[in-house]
Amino acid sequence: MQTKLLTKPIPYTFIRDGYYYFTRRIPTDLQGYYRYPRIVQGLQTSSSREARVLANLEAAKLEAYWSKMRLTKTKVLGEALLSEDLVGTPPKEAERANINSLSGSPKLSEALEMYVSLKGKGRPKTFRKAAERACKYVNDLVGDKPISSYNRHDGLALRDWLVQRGLAGSTITRNFSYIKAIINFVSSELAVDMQNPFAGIYHDRNAGVSSRKPIPVLDIVRVQEECLKIDDDMRWLILLISDTGMRLAEGAGLLKSDIILDTQTPYVQIQKHPWRNLKTASSHRKVPLCGKSLWAAKRILLNETSSKYAFERYNQQVNTSANSASAALNKWLRQYVPEGCTLHSFRHSMRDRLRSVQCPSDIADQIGGWTTSGVGQGYGSGYPLDILHKWVEKAVLHIGQYSDDAL
């Protein structure tokens, strides 16, 4: 018979997501000094021993503080003769204002810091930067105020202001998402009873979003020829993408060991890594290598470096620098492709190239890692690699009919 060990609960605490939080109800006689009836504050520890010490310390500090508050309400003989400088106790009105500033809802800037410190652990630097950018928009327009003092008018004004600045609908959505998340999280943590004024604000999510153009076949051939001439790691990445349709981040975050050539059907294994996530579950896949992508894969593995990464220059930080890769590669690519085309356009082009050889849509979805709708698509493990290779090869051979003479 097993004996169940009972652990004594830690006073004034609760656990959320593995971390301890301090909570204490404001005494009835002092609630007039506070905006809310309860104090809730994260202790930022998952250790029960440390949480017990911190909770007892905070409780003792509160008891001492509350005793001091009660004394300020008590009439004593000679009170009028006391010097504030000697006593060191602020006058009642200043004390009240100080207490209210501590117990009320935090300013947006304070909420931001609390949000990123608790929710940003293990996140890339872009997480903090995006949250800071969203809050800066609010601060620039209506100011850095306590989160409970923002109203519906502020939310609507922010939307209109961002639209006037020319931000795309998707960018506006992303900024509102951060602002809503910050206010929801902090108001929940601190038990602030409020409606989020930035929630439910309508805007056109498709505004300013231009459909990405596929790169015409002749331009793909031209780009590939230029990449072969330059023959460096940046051009290898472009070639790898051009005949596989993989996303830039998927390629930039590859390990050398993800490239498998010593098999009947060479392929690249696209999988989640700690330094590079995948967009969707269907993004986890094997993509056959042929044409210029196979040539690039061979060059990558022949490049003798001590790095485990296929593209070391884009993996020198904690996370793959996909944005840096995009800026550099698109700057070079721009001179060879029509206006509006980017590196991501190779992905759209691959879909068209697979259509042009009448590749079945579910096979094309598996090659590109596109999400497929339908209940039946969730069953089985998909098509074998040799079937995928057959269709990718057809698409590559189809573009191969365009030679330098055609240019």
Give the pLDDT of residue 101: 40
In contact, 343 and 248? CB cutoff 8 Å: yes
Residue 378 has pLDDT above 60, yes or no: no
pLDDT category at 402 given cuts 50, 70, 90 is low
Q: Give 80-106 pLDDT, tens digit per residue.
A: 555 554 444 444 443 443 433 434 578
* Coil, strand or helix at 306: coil
Instruction: Look at residue 278 in the predicted model and tell me its pLDDT.
Output: 87
Closest CA relative to residue 123, chosen from 115, 138, 107, 45: 115
- Given this model, what pLDDT does residue 44 score? 80
- Mean pLDDT is lowest, of 35-44, 204-213, 224-233, 249-258, for 204-213
In sequence order, what are the residues at sequence separation of 6 or more whose Cβ sits closer than 8 angstroms to the Cβ of residue 180? 196, 198, 199
Return all residues near 238 (Cβ < 8 A) that are at least 6 apart: 223, 227, 329, 333, 343, 346
DSSP H/E element including 85: helix 84-87
Looking at residue 29, its pLDDT comes to: 86
Instruction: Find, among 364, 352, 370, the residue nearest to 283 by Cα.
Output: 370
End-to-end CA separation in angstroms for the chain: 82
What is the model's pLDDT at position 259? 97
| pLDDT 10s digits, 325-374 | 999 999 999 999 998 899 999 999 999 999 999 999 999 999 999 876 55
Q: How confident is the model at residue 394 (pLDDT cuts 50, 70, 90)?
A: very high
Q: 142-159 pLDDT, tens per residue? A: 999 999 999 999 999 999
Predicted structure pTM score: 0.56
Taking residue 403's Cβ as centre, other Cβ atoms within 10 Å add up to 9
User: Which of 279, 285, 277, 299 is closest to 392 using CA atoms?
Assistant: 285
Give CA–CA dist 303/231, Å, rounded.
Answer: 11
Name the one residue in this structure whose structure tokens are 């409780």. Answer: 59
Express each pLDDT in 263-299 by its tens digit: 999 999 999 999 998 888 889 999 999 999 999 999 9
b/e per residue, 45-71, with b = 16+ CB within 10 A?
eeeeeebbebbeebeeebeeebeebee
Cα–Cα distance, 368 to 359 (Å, whole number): 12
- Which pLDDT band holds residue 64 (cuts at 50, 70, 90)? confident
Query: Cα–Cα distances in Å, from 119 out to 123, 128, 238, 273, 316?
Result: 8, 10, 35, 21, 24
Q: What percent of the chain has pLDDT over 70?
A: 84
pLDDT (0 to 100) of residue 250: 95
7 falls in which pLDDT band (50, 70, 90)? low
**What residue ranges define each of the domains in the chain, with the CATH number in brackets?**
108-189 (1.10.150), 217-373+381-406 (1.10.443.10)
pLDDT of residue 262: 94
CB atoms within 10 A of CB 374: 8
Give the pLDDT confidence score for residue 79 in this predicted structure: 56
Contact between 249 and 369 under an 8 Å Cβ cutoff? The reply is no
Contact (Cβ atoms closer than 8 angstroms) between residue 394 and residue 358: no
Dig out the tokens for 75 from the structure. 């009439």
Between 126 and 354, residue with greater pLDDT: 354
pLDDT of 122 > 90? The answer is no
Q: What pLDDT, on a 0 to 100 scale, did the predictor assign at position 400?
A: 62
Residues above pLDDT 90, as percent of the chain: 47
**DSSP character for 310?**
S
Binning pLDDT at 50, 70 and 90, where does residue 10 land?
A: confident
pLDDT 10s digits, 212-241: 689 999 999 999 999 999 999 999 999 999
At 15 the three-state DSSP class reads strand
Lowest mean pLDDT among 176-180, 242-246, 375-379: 375-379
Report which of residues 45 and 178 the model is more confident about. 178
d(CA 293, CA 240): 4
